[in-house]
Amino acid sequence: MELKQIKRLEKNARNALRNSYGPYSRFRVGCALLAASGNLYTGCNIENASYGLTICAERVALFNAISHGEREFNAIAIVSEKDRAYPCGACLQVMSEFAPDLVIIIFDNKHKIKVVKLKELLPKAFVIKNKKHKQ
């Protein structure tokens, strides 16, 4: 992945972070998802007083992209105001449905990056092998 693409992803993820709603955990996250089409989709975490209804930035971005017709993804950049924010298990599982080879770029608050593949973080994703077709 080119440095120009990584910088674009980081910039958009940091912009998305501004919209994060995290009054309970005070852990705000933003992300930018690069679709195979070249389109970029962002997301931020949105908390709720009923903690189980909280949604992570990664799933917001992914669901935004899917709702716009995207089905294939190349990379996602994740930023937080604190240290590195790795995707939770639920986000990894949802991402694996659409992009098992996704590149995950995680920025810390000093702009240092860690690049990993989704399969490294979730090596045994739950999959249905007899899916007849992708919608």
Which tokens sit at 108?
Answer: 């810390």
Name the nearest CA neighbour of 38 among 68, 79, 77, 73: 73
Catalytic positions are: 58
Q: Which residues pair with 77 in a beta bridge?
A: 32, 105
Rounded Cα distance between 116 and 93, Å, is 15
DSSP 55: B
Rounded Cα distance between 1 and 9, Å, is 11
Angle between helix axes 89-98 and 57-67 (nearest 10 degrees) is 20
Sign of CA dihedral 115, 51, 35, 3: negative
